[in-house]
Amino acid sequence: MTPAEGGPRRRVLIVSFYFPPAGGGGVQRVLKLCKHLPEMGWDVDVLAPDDPRWVAVDPGLAAEIPPGTIVHRAPYRGPSQERAPEERLRRARGAGRLATRAAILGRKLLVPDPSVPWVPSAARAGRRIVRERAIDVVLTTSPPMSAHLVGSAIARRAGVPWVADFRDSWLANPHRRYERRSVRAKRQLLERIARRALRRASGISAVTEVIAEEARELAASGTPVRVISNGCDFDDFAGLRHEPGERLRLLHAGYFFGARTPRPFLQALARLLERRPELRGTVEARFIGGFREADRAWAERLGLGDALAVDGFVPHEGALRAMKEADALLLLIPNAGGLGTTVLSGKLFEYLAAERPVLALVPPEGAAAAILRETELAWIADPDDLEAIEETLEQVYDAWRDGSLGAERILPHDLRERLDRRARAAELGSLMEEVR
């Protein structure tokens, strides 16, 4: 008998580097598990850093932590997560630039990632929590991958079952330049670390089949591995409505890093406005979240004028409202030499929950494109094909102009149920029950 069917309640310790007051998309999977796992008979403790100076801070998310969730903090003494390394270097001047360059080099030497200095204090705290809180299962979620080192250490010393939850691949990172010998050497080191850590895993969950296959290769033979995708938070958009405006409002929510870039889209927009100058004043592409300074300067040279709006970080509540207000949502996933086909960004599911059309510049044969085709809410173009992007953008504009873009978009009931976060929590709860 499972806890949800009336059996004894269980307690899980979730180890996550990102948890409120941290903001951004990486917080949502854990936050929704805290909400839905208790419905399945699992009481939740969370272990997170005290303050690594996250890139995004959203104090308002603290109100979404369920009252029954017990939050523990372990000291963090690693490098700041507040700003991307390339942005820090760009802003540095004089002697400060040399110091920043040295700090970035030191950051790159940290394996498996710059968050690894948190592992010793988190592992100590985790072992204490397991003992004092009678934890039945430890769940670690990544990125960063160093969270799984915490789980491995707790499992080794405390003897409690441990499930590793992967939102990204440990080894096949689309933002790494594998043509470089140093990057390939680091990958080999990461593989050794991953194999050593995951041999203690009692179970593994992964958001895509490709990531699950990688995990099966790294973990001990016979370790249960389940594909448990990200999910949609339809409840978050309850009460929000879309109202047509006088301009086509395109919105991108999120950060740019590594190979992810807005440049092909912006260049296609500039080309479309040059070819059809009557569109000026009727299109706005808005970016909320992070926008690299180099991309901003590059965009300014395109002469987009008021067709481009760039905002900084927007709290989650405001981001949800902006998504619902938009006429179409912009999803960007790079090809990255084929690695982008495996990416199922959490942002995709947030867009689907908003039930607005999606302009998806993603690998056409990838996992994200496959889900979007099911919804019939998307226009899809190859992120490296400038002409295809321009043509697709024009199709979106023409649909907006003739009124078909603003039509009510509701996902089919069976698809909504399959994509809902509750279903994901139930799947994860089942895996944790299996490994006890």
Q: Which residue has the higher pLDDT, 208 or 152?
A: 152
Average pLDDT over the chain reads 89
pLDDT confidence of 84, banded at 50, 70, 90?
A: low
- Which of 50-54, 174-178, 323-327, 416-420 is predicted least confidently? 174-178
In this structure, the answer to whether residues 187 and 219 fall within a common structural domain is yes
Nearest partner of 150 among 28, 55, 300, 49, judged by Cα: 49
pLDDT on residue 96: 57
In this structure, the answer to whether residues 338 and 197 fall within a common structural domain is no
In this structure, the answer to whether residues 178 and 217 fall within a common structural domain is yes
In this structure, the answer to whether residues 280 and 208 fall within a common structural domain is no
pLDDT in tens, 169-201: 998 865 556 557 767 788 899 999 999 999 999
Question: How far apart, in whole angstroms, are the C-alpha atoms of residue 149 and residue 383?
Answer: 35
pTM for the complete prediction?
0.87
In this structure, the answer to whether residues 239 and 169 fall within a common structural domain is no
pLDDT on residue 344: 83
pLDDT confidence of 412, banded at 50, 70, 90?
A: confident
* pLDDT average, residue stretch 303-311: 93
CATH code for position 210? 3.40.50.2000
pLDDT confidence of 260, banded at 50, 70, 90?
A: confident
pLDDT confidence of 12, banded at 50, 70, 90?
A: very high
In this structure, the answer to whether residues 312 and 374 fall within a common structural domain is yes
Q: Domain limits at 378?
A: 234-413
Q: Is the confidence at residue 101, as pLDDT, over 80? A: no
In this structure, the answer to whether residues 104 and 65 fall within a common structural domain is yes
Q: How far is CA 362 from CA 75, 141, 161, 331, in A?
A: 38, 25, 37, 7
pLDDT confidence of 278, banded at 50, 70, 90?
A: very high
In this structure, the answer to whether residues 238 and 150 fall within a common structural domain is no
In this structure, the answer to whether residues 205 and 241 fall within a common structural domain is no
In this structure, the answer to whether residues 263 and 194 fall within a common structural domain is no
In this structure, the answer to whether residues 189 and 298 fall within a common structural domain is no
In this structure, the answer to whether residues 31 and 66 fall within a common structural domain is yes
Domain count, the chain: 2
